[in-house]
Structure 1
Amino acid sequence: MWESIRQWDRETFIYLNSLGVEQYDLFWSTVTKIPVWTPLFLFFGFLLFRKYTKREALFIILTILTMVFFVVTLTDLTKEVVARLRPNNDLEINQIIRILRSPSGYSFFSGHASSSFSITTIVFLFLRKRFRWSFLFYLWPILFTWSRIYVGVHFPIDLIVGALVGVFSAWLFYRLYLTIISPYTR
């Protein structure tokens, strides 16, 4: 079974990566960079300060930063333990795929997926009842993670697992905030 999943993962990656069109390379190469999304992070902070008291917003932001540290650490440790080659470094396929970026680290699971889905999910959980359009925040991690296939650095399973880890981590830290921190913010 594991071998059939790996085969599906590899074939799906090759197919999706091959859909890339050169005229969109600049767009996807830009979307995949973290600093490009700084205005969105500032917008998240603005909304949190606007919809919560200053004290609550500060504790929420500290919770989010702690969660990001947790997610990044978990992602890096998992990558070192699993040690799965990225598509761009996989000698079996790197000659037949489009490669726009060439990181040398490991692939499983995607840090872009885990961090973007964790940040988006926890911000969504905090703002869903206070900001009607908060579901639109999910456009960011969808574009951000899809870009990783386009530029040739992650398999679909890397992204799916990363997204699931991110969503679960956000839910966990949100629950921790509600039970441990929230009573002291009022």
Structure 2
Amino acid sequence: MIERAPTVPLRDWHDRLAAGAARTPLESPDGARWLTRWALVCLIVATTLVLACGYHAGFLRLNAWAASYPDWIWQCLTVLGDERVPFALSLFFSLRYPRVFWTLILSALIAILYSRGLKELVDSARPPGVLAADAFHLIGPGHRHHSFPSGHSVTAGVFFGVLIYHARLVEWRLLFLLLAILAGFSRVAVGVHWPVDVAAGLLGGALAAWLGARFAARWPGPATDVSVHLAIVTLAAVLAVGLLYDDGGYPGAALMLQGLGAGALLSALLQYFVLPLWRERRRGQGVETGRPQVS
């Protein structure tokens, strides 16, 4: 008689999503204050740069300062704003913290409207489209159009903003804030955005994270809906696969992206298939032997 291989029951995923949702409060007033204050600072910086010094203010000086550091540092930081990277990183915590995962998805949708909408509306020239090639340090692709706002900064602001909102320790919030700022600044360092673009990008990312958190608190159901959750996880896994062979034009970050993509896929495989199958097999063995199994 052929033994039927165990399958992952939907009950297992549903139970783990429900348990994960219980770990995360629907709202975080302290996290909301962090995001709104961060957004206000970004607004002040962007407004001051434009009104006091002009749209191109600060670029040459900051770009020259960044050039004193190895290019690979800025390449590794700038890919944190690659849209595929937050999705891949989310696979490490999507099942354990489904509410954080759901907040990230809603925030990302808002951020896309902000970033893509303003890029089409403003369509300002980037540094490679304005400055001579020998006037600044360029790393990677020399994009020329759709400068405002910085899309990578928006992405970094959204991802780390959601983590800031849900983090419990101040030390973690400071780390996430620092990473978001460095990812945004790296766009000046690689020579494809003006400082104003970065400030506006981080502003939009922080506001999108704040709005996404509010919507997620009022519409929490999909966070524990197995079909919705697995569909988004599948999309995240597909994007993580892309990191294995496409460095986004930054070869200095290729190894980091490959490690991140492989780690994210392995984490998802373990969480969603290997461990549930192992638990199901244990349950089956408990039924056969008549011994109760502890879940």
TM-score bracket for this pair, using the shorter chain length: 0.7 to 0.9
RMSD across aligned positions (CA): 3.3
Aligned to 1:86: 126
- 1:172 positional shift: 0.7
Aligned to 2:197: 158
> Counterparts of 2:144 and 2:114 in 1: how far apart (Å)?
19
1:10 matches 2:56: yes
Alpha carbons 1:87, 1:94 under 8 Å: kept: no
TM-score (norm 2): 0.51
> Counterparts of 2:170 and 2:196 in 1: how far apart (Å)?
32
- More displaced, 151-160 or 117-126? 117-126
TM-score (norm 1): 0.77
- Structure 1 or 2, whichever has the larger Rg, is 2
SS at the partner of 1:84?
coil
- 1:182 positional shift: 6.0
1:115 matches 2:155: yes
Once the two structures are superposed, what CA deviation does each residue of 1:101-120 show, in whole Å capped at 9, x if it has no partner?
Answer: 31233100011111111111
SS at the partner of 2:58?
helix
Give the alignment partner of residue 219 of structure 2, picking from 170, 180, 183: 180
SS at the partner of 1:104?
coil
Distance 1:39 1:181, change over 3 A: closer
Runs of 5+ consecutive residues of structure 1 not aligned to the other structure: none
> Counterparts of 2:48 and 2:92 in 1: how far apart (Å)?
45
> Counterparts of 1:141 and 1:3 in 2: how far apart (Å)?
20
Alpha carbons 2:161, 2:209 under 8 Å: kept: yes
Letter in 2 for 1:171: W
Distance 1:158 1:16, change over 3 A: same
Give the alignment partner of residue 96 of structure 1, picking from 131, 135, 160: 135
Distance 1:166 1:104, change over 3 A: same
Distance 1:69 1:184, change over 3 A: closer
> Counterparts of 2:108 and 2:223 in 1: how far apart (Å)?
22
> Counterparts of 2:87 and 2:178 in 1: how far apart (Å)?
11
Give the alignment partner of residue 29 of structure 1, picking from 61, 65, 75: 75
Aligned to 1:20: 66
> Counterparts of 2:49 and 2:156 in 1: how far apart (Å)?
29
1:73 matches 2:119: no
